[in-house]
Structure 1
Amino acid sequence: MSGAAKQPASVSTFQRAVYFLRLGRPLHLLGGFLFNGLGVSIAYYLGAEINWTIALWCQAAITATQLMTHYSNDYFDQDADAATVTPTRWAGGSRVLPDGLIHPRAALAAALVCCGVALGATAVLVVTVSAPLLTLALLLLALALAWSYSSPPLWLNRRGLGEITGALLVPGLTTLLGFQVQAGRLAAQPLLAVVPLCCFQFAMLLSVNFPDAVGDARVGKQTLVVIFGPARSGRLFVGALALAYLLLPLLVLAGLPGQVALVVLLTSPIAAWQAWRIRRGAATDSAAWDALGFWSIGLLMAAALLEAVVFVALTVI
C-alpha cells in the first residue's frame, strides 16, 4: 500500500523532527494515558496497592504501541490518504507522507522501532508484575491487534473490522491492562466500566471515517462507512451512542457503581446533539465533519475521565 507519496524535499533536522512528531499524532496519545489511568483507578477502588513504577512501565508499553500504530497506519494507508481530498484534523492521516514531508520508509522504520520498545516494556513488566503470564497475554494481544488494525497480514481496517477492533482495543483492552498490572487479575468492574466507552469509541471511529469514505472506496479500503454508505453508517453511529446509555441500568445490576453510571449519563446531552446533527445530514456534510469528529472524541474522553474521577472519589471519600 506504499508508493503513493511525493518524494520528500530536503529539510533541516529540526523540521524533520517536527514532521516526525506530527506523524506520531501526539494529541491522540492522551487517550492511552486516560484509559490506563482509568484501569489504575478501578484497581485502587477494588483495594489494590498502586505501584507507580509498574504503572509507568505499562504506560510506556501503551504509548509505544500507539506510536507504532500511528506510524504503520500512515505507511500502509498511503494510497487511501492520498486519495482523500477532504481530510480533517481527525481523519485522513497525518498528511506527512502524502505531502512528501518524510520518506515513507522512515515511517515504517519508526513503527518497527516502537514495536521493539513496546516489547521491551512488556519484558520489564513480565518480570515485575504478580501475574506475568496474564500480563504477557494481554500485552501481546494488544500489540497484535494494534499492528493488524491497518497493516498486513490482516488489514482489519480494510475488511470492515477496523471499527470494532478499535472499540475493543483502545478503551477496552487498554483499561484492562491498566487494571490487571496493578491488581494481578481480571475482574468484572473494569469490564463493566468500559462497555459504554467501547460504544463511544465505535461511534467515534465511524465519525472519522465519514471524511475518508470517497478516497477509501477509490482504493478498495472497506471501512464500515464504505460498506454501508453514509446514511446507514449514520444510523449505526446513532445506535452505538444510544446503546451506551441503554445498557447503563443492566451494567448497574451487574455490579457497576451507580455513581459511575450516573456520570456517564451526564454526557448524554453531547451524544444527543451529535445524534441530532447526524439526523440533519452531518454524515455527508463536509463542513460538519471536523466538529463531528472533535465532539465524538470529546464525548469518549469526557466519559472516561468522569469514570476515573468517580472510582477514585468512591475510594477516598
Structure 2
Amino acid sequence: MKPTGLLARLVALILLGRPLHLAGGALFYALGVAAAGYAGAPLALDAALLGLLTVMTAQLMNHYSNDYFDLDADQANPTPTRWSGGSRVLPSGQLPPQAALWAALCCGGLALVLAGFAASASPSPLASGALLLVAIVLAWVYSGPPLYLHRRGFGEPVGAFVVTGTTALSGYILQTGQLTLLSLLIILPLCLMQFTMLVAVSLPDQQGDRAVGKLTLAVLLGPERAAWCMAGTTVVAYLMLPLLWYAGLPTLVALAPLGAAPIGLWISFQTFRGIWAKPHLWDALGFWSIGQVVASAGLMLLAFLLRL
C-alpha cells in the first residue's frame, strides 16, 4: 500500500536524504580508522563512534542542501538517472523545498555539536576539531551560500576532497591526533576516483545545469572534454599506485585498488567510444563510477584489517 499523509512525507524526507549514500561515507571513515590502527594507534571507540555520527549527519546536511539549492537545475534536467539529478523528491512535489532547507540546517547544527564531542574524545581535540569543522563547512558551501562552489566550477575537485579525503582523514586524526604521510597516501587514489565519479554523474545533468547557469565541468569544458578528464583521472589513480607504495603505502594496500581496475578499463573504453553522447549508457556510467571508488576503498580497508 502506498504511504499517505504524514507517513508519506516522512518517507519522502528520508528519500530526500539519500540514505543509501551514507554507506560510502561510513566506508571511507572506517578506512581512516583502520589506517590509524595500522599506524599503531589504540582504538578509541568513543571518538570513533562520535566521529562516525558527525560524518553521517554532515553528509545528510550536504544531501538535503544539494537538493534545495539545486532545485532549479533538477527541474530543468530532462535526463536524470538513478545516480544523478538529485533525489527527485522536490521536483516531483512530494515535499516543499523548505523541508529540505530545514533538514539541512538541523543536520548541520547537529553535525557541529557532534564534532565538538568527537574532537574532545580524541588525542588532539584542537587538530581534530579543526579538521571536522573544515569538512562540515566545505560540505555546506559545496552547494550552499556564500560560495556555491559547485555552481562556480569548483564542485568536482572540492567534492572529491571532501567526500573521500576529509572523511578518511577524520577517521584517522580522531584516533591518532595528527595527520601523517600514511593518511595522505591512502586518500590520493580515492580522491581521483571520486573526481571521476562526480564528473560521470554530471554528464546526464549538463543540459539542465547549462540552462540555469550552473557551471559544472561538463558545462565549462563541454561533455566531451569533461569525459576525457574523467577517464584521465581514472588512469592516473591506478598509475600512481607504485609511487604511493614507494612513498610508504603498505604493499597489500597499494595493490588493493587494482581489484577495481576492470571498472576503470570499462570507463576508459567507453570514453574512447564517446559515452558523453550516449544517454542510454549514463545510468551504467554512474553506477560503475560509484562502484569503482567504493570497491577500491573497501579493498584498501580489507588490506589494512589483514595487516592489523
TM above 0.5, yes or no, is yes
Percent of matched pairs sharing the same residue:
49
Q: 2:210 corresponds to which residue?
A: 217
Deviations 1:16-74 (A, max 9, x none): 11100110001111111101100011011111111222111001100110000011111
1:200 aligns with 2:193: yes
* Counterpart residue type for residue 16 of structure 2: L
Q: In 1, distance between residues paired with 2:41 and 2:79?
A: 47
Which has the higher mean CA deviation after the structures are superposed, 244-253 or 287-296? 244-253
Question: When the two structures are superposed, what TM-score results if normalisation uses the length of structure 1?
Answer: 0.95
Q: In 2, distance between residues paired with 1:93 and 1:38?
A: 27
1:136 aligns with 2:136: no
8 Å CA contact retained: 2:259, 2:299: no
After the TM superposition, which residues 84-163 of structure 1 pair with which residues of structure 2 at under 5 Å, given as runs? 84-163=77-156
Q: In 1, distance between residues paired with 2:209 and 2:91?
A: 14
Q: 1:4 corresponds to which residue?
A: none
CA RMSD of aligned residues (A): 1.1
* Counterpart residue type for residue 160 of structure 2: A
Q: In 2, distance between residues paired with 1:93 and 1:245?
A: 29
Q: In 1, distance between residues paired with 2:79 and 2:100?
A: 23
After the TM superposition, which residues 47-58 of structure 1 pair with which residues of structure 2 at under 5 Å, given as runs? 47-58=40-51
Q: In 1, distance between residues paired with 2:49 and 2:253?
A: 25
Which has the higher mean CA deviation after the structures are superposed, 57-66 or 276-285? 276-285
How many residue pairs get aligned? The number is 306
Which has the higher mean CA deviation after the structures are superposed, 257-266 or 293-302? 257-266
In structure 2, list runs of 5 or more residues that go unmatched. Answer: none
Deviations 1:241-279 (A, max 9, x none): 011011111111110112111111232111001111121
Aligned equivalent of 2:161, options 155, 165, 168: 168
User: Per-residue deviation at 1:11?
Assistant: 4.8
8 Å CA contact retained: 1:210, 1:284: no
Q: In 1, distance between residues paired with 2:142 and 2:163?
A: 11
SS in 2 for 1:266: helix
SS in 2 for 1:233: helix
Q: In 2, distance between residues paired with 1:173 and 1:108?
A: 24
Which has the higher mean CA deviation after the structures are superposed, 123-132 or 219-228? 123-132
Q: 1:311 corresponds to which residue?
A: 304
Which has the higher mean CA deviation after the structures are superposed, 300-309 or 255-264? 255-264
Q: In 1, distance between residues paired with 2:277 and 2:156?
A: 19
In structure 1, list runs of 5 or more residues that go unmatched. Answer: 1-9
Which has the higher mean CA deviation after the structures are superposed, 182-191 or 294-303? 182-191
Deviations 1:128-170 (A, max 9, x none): 2220010111011001100011111101000110000011111
Aligned equivalent of 1:25, options 18, 35, 38: 18
Q: 2:274 corresponds to which residue?
A: 281
User: Per-residue deviation at 1:183?
Assistant: 1.0
Which has the higher mean CA deviation after the structures are superposed, 246-255 or 77-86? 246-255
